[in-house]
Structure 1
């Protein structure tokens, strides 16, 4: 199910955006009138897309976007009539994926939604890849340190590596877990 969150303090604009987003293919639509409601709804429903006004009571859209992006769940598009450099910089720093000026038409919003979702997916994939690379690097460092312990005990590097692999297979543990165990025994 594709979920979207529409946030605007003006009910007519919220209704217009909701219709465009529904026509785009989103089947679960949530609405909020301010940034604090948006944060609460985003935490519960984790929408793929949030379309949010910048200027709203209680909490503005940029502040809400910043808080929502601490645990990113989807693309964030801001709608606004404000184009000053400070606002644009704040939006960028808050992790907003796209910024659409009012007044806008349905086609502009559809294009913006498409680009924003693709950008969000690309960034998410890169974050996942970076996390996996960090994990692999950490594992490699631990394995190398553990092999060093075994080499000090008289094994060659290939023998140390094979011993750790065999132990990992026999104990149904990862190579990282076996390396951590060797390092704990040594420490």
Structure 2
């Protein structure tokens, strides 16, 4: 386990909030702020600058995705969205606004641990992209391509996510191309194999 994280939890159901909080603390992290509506979550995130935000999607005043969008306009904080059900459209919307992971209730401590690890790995990738592209908006766009390319490699080569990422990074180094360019090439190549 790396260094303990300072985490903001936004959840409007008291019992869920307490459950998340105790799991996060059990994993050795610190809950630095709690919010029960989306607007408060945005204010607290900007004020406390946590290392990570875990936010329920259905929040009063401002829904979770909107709240994360507002936060990210000010400072980009890695975020995990929590939802009561799996919904492709919501996942797409969340990804577009920079959400790095999506958790479905009920959540146990193992789910949270995995979510935190993946989110931080994706955030590290994102930060590198941001440095490379010098622009948050471009980095968000690029991330969509990289996630898709990773998915293709995972399917076609039966790889786990970290291995797929390593494979993309190696291709990027070997061909001296930006990661996002390699990702687009993988996506294009994959289209050739789609025999509709």
Same fold (TM over 0.5): yes
Distance 2:31 2:101 in 1: 21
Distance 1:114 1:49 in 2: 11
Show the counterpart of 1:39: 42
Bigger radius of gyration:
1
Q: Aligned to 2:54, which of 51, 55, 70?
A: 51
Show the counterpart of 1:19: 22
Residue 93 of structure 1 and its aligned partner are, at CA, apart by 1.2
Residue 104 of structure 1 and its aligned partner are, at CA, apart by 1.6
Say whether the 8 Å CA contact 1:75–1:116 is kept in structure 2.
Answer: yes
Show the counterpart of 2:86: 83
Pairs within 5 Å for 1:84-99: 84-99=87-102
TM-score by length of 1: 0.65
Say whether the 8 Å CA contact 1:48–1:73 is kept in structure 2.
Answer: no
Distance 2:31 2:93 in 1: 29
Residue 131 of structure 1 and its aligned partner are, at CA, apart by 2.7
Say whether the 8 Å CA contact 1:2–1:48 is kept in structure 2.
Answer: yes
1:141-181 deviations in whole A, cap 9, x for unaligned?
xxxxxxxxxxxxxxxxxxxxxxxxxxxxxxxxxxxxxxxxx
In structure 2, do the counterparts of structure 1 residues 74 and 25 end up closer, same or farther at CA, with 3 Å as the change threshold? farther
Distance 2:25 2:125 in 1: 23
Aligned residue for 2:65, secondary structure, equals helix
Q: Give the alignment's Cα RMSD to 1 decimal.
A: 1.8
Residue 114 of structure 1 and its aligned partner are, at CA, apart by 1.1
Residue 130 of structure 1 and its aligned partner are, at CA, apart by 2.8
Aligned residue for 2:129, secondary structure, equals helix
Show the counterpart of 1:125: 128
TM-score by length of 2: 0.63
Distance 1:24 1:71 in 2: 28
Say whether the 8 Å CA contact 1:4–1:29 is kept in structure 2.
Answer: yes
Say whether the 8 Å CA contact 2:24–2:31 is kept in structure 1.
Answer: no
Where does the alignment leave 5 or more consecutive residues of structure 2 unmatched?
136-196
Say whether the 8 Å CA contact 1:3–1:29 is kept in structure 2.
Answer: yes
Distance 2:121 2:75 in 1: 14
